[in-house]
Amino acid sequence: EKNTAAKLEKIKGEILAKYPTKVARKRAKQILVNRRDTNGKMPEVGANVRTVPGIITQRGCSYAGCKGVVLGPTRDIVNITHGPVGCAYYSWLTRRNQTRPESDTDENFMNYCFTTDMQDEHIVFGGEKKLKQAIQEAFDLFHPKAISVFSTCPVGLIGDDVHAVAREMKEKLGINVFAFSCEGYKGVSQSAGHHIANNGIFTHVVGLNDTIGKGKFRINLLGEYNIGGDSFEIERILDACGISLVSTYSGNSSIDHFANSHTADLNAIMCHRSINYMAEMMETKFGIPWIKVNFIGAESTAKSLRKIAQYFEDEELKAKVEEVIAAEMPAVMASLEKAKPRCEGKRAMLFVGGSRAHHYQDLFGELGMETLAAGYEFGHRDDYEGRKVLPSIKIDADSRNIEELHITPDAKRYAPRKDEESLKKLESEGLAFREYEGLMPDMKENTLVIDDISQFETEKLIEIFKPDIFCAGIKEKYAIQKSGIPMKQLHSYDSGGPYAGFKGAINFYGEIERMVNAKVWSFITPPWAAEPELSANYAWV
Ligand code: CFN
Ligand code: HCA
């Protein structure tokens, strides 16, 4: 049965009816039927807003976004959590990002968990002394190139000056030491932590080194975190194309690569949500333009490679990229031929972070599967609705405008144009914007888009639609499985991956084909069906 707008609006009404009036009014802006109005306008989504206390959200905190997400996958920085041991412990290797040192002498600290383990005493008398000791101890034991400090909630509350401690220890030890004020309570989700991380690395690391990396086509890959080995597959493909990776942000990354990343010709952004700030700062300071790419899905991978080749305007590179795509596609198609007939027409729901709920729709699309409902935990309006950005303009060699544009003298060939006037002018000249897609315009009409979905809403969607697969994170996983629905984690990939690139697509097709055809879930009787007193406790039954 097809979902009509009227049917979906009715379901939305049913969900909202369970909430108190004020909460319902707020959630109404975050639960949308994806449909343009008669003027072709998309609905406006209420995103990046505070979760109503009492609602079970799946969001994380600012510290998670800074320490766990952006800095977590860097192998040779000693990351010290300044705070209670729990914050350190629960952000220790839970994200399944992998690492591959480049040589035997390369350090890898990712397997360790460093923390000041704050106690009552430090809350009362201050934790700066303990932090200094911890930095010293880490230095004495490991002699790292850099140490960074991440503040958890109590640090902000008691007012420890982590930046002053970092400066003092940097001076004393002669290595790079820098701190992040990423207290968990800042902002409304982990998204605030991404921003803090971007600012910190840009300020303390980018541009400090320009000695490594050669190659004709030099790019940074931003917003790719090597979950389940995704970066390894992307690195393999870029390498085959003759595209040199200066730095990733931050899957399988190292501090030297960050320090060198301003020498790249182009920033290719995968997860725009977590790292767009870095791209924009690099564009402004170093004149490095950025484009959006997506290596999730075989077709998307091919498209992204072509986009990169297009940027360099080099015939040889374009030919090489086509050669690589042609060499990779037969295996992809063979695997798709097997999986697609068993997946076609099945229905998925995707509720993940700030970019995957969008990117993974491409992979499901390749399998002929439809995404019935999707949303981010903490995406912003531009992630949902898409955004037009002005393209960088070429600066001619003897341009006198460089200073005016706030570009440093080592700026390469481009400068960003952001002001309204140039925007209008370019538009009137019919020059293309650097436009990027959003989750909503890319989804079919008459689907549901839900921001910061709650546990109650998740269970309700499952009850009403009985999707063939539900994709989310660990917090949702077991309730979904108990409801008899196959559940795939798109954060950690459970124990699977890589899913990026060509080989990743093949892995994903096989995994989803297996999952949506497994009968095992339909044999489950949820505990609340057998024990009515349990079901009485569930508001939705
Ligand atoms: S790896 Fe990324 S892709 S960085 Fe971000 S928005 Fe999280 S940790 Mo979980 S899986 Fe997720 Fe995205 Fe970007 Fe990961 S969809 S929620 S903060 N995310
Ligand atoms: C985070 C990390 C997380 C959590 C995943 C999950 C990740 O939000 O702090 O809920 O399963 O990808 O590891 O998003």
Task: Give the model's pLDDT for residue 197.
Answer: 98
CB atoms within 10 A of CB 37: 8
Percent of the chain clearing pLDDT 90 (strictly above): 80
Quote the ipTM score: 0.98
For the CA of 222, the nearest ligand: 1
Residue to mutate (ligand 1; options 61, 221, 274; most atoms within 8 A of CB): 274
Q: What is the pLDDT of residues 159-183, one digit of tens each?
A: 999 999 999 999 999 999 999 999 9
Q: Lowest-confidence range among 129-133, 520-524, 527-531?
A: 527-531
Percent of the chain clearing pLDDT 70 (strictly above): 90
Q: Which atom of ligand 1 is nearest to the CA of 70?
A: 4
Distances (CA, A) of 270 to 139, 230, 314: 34, 12, 22
* Rounded mean pLDDT, 284-302: 92
Burial of 322 (0-12, 13-18, 19+ CB in 10 A): middle
pTM of the shown model: 0.94
For the CA of 271, the nearest ligand: 1
Q: Which residues line ligand 2 (CB under 6 A)?
A: 60, 64, 68, 94-95, 190, 353, 473-475, 489, 491-492
Q: Lowest-confidence range among 43-47, 164-168, 284-288, 468-472?
A: 284-288
Contact 436, 380 (CB under 8 A): no
Nearest CA, atom 14, ligand 2: 491
425 pLDDT higher than 70: no
CA distance 147 to 267: 26
Long-range Cβ contacts of 342-345 (<8 Å, 24+ apart): 342/513, 342/516, 342/517, 343/367, 343/368, 343/369, 343/509, 343/512, 343/513, 343/516, 344/368, 344/369, 345/369, 345/370
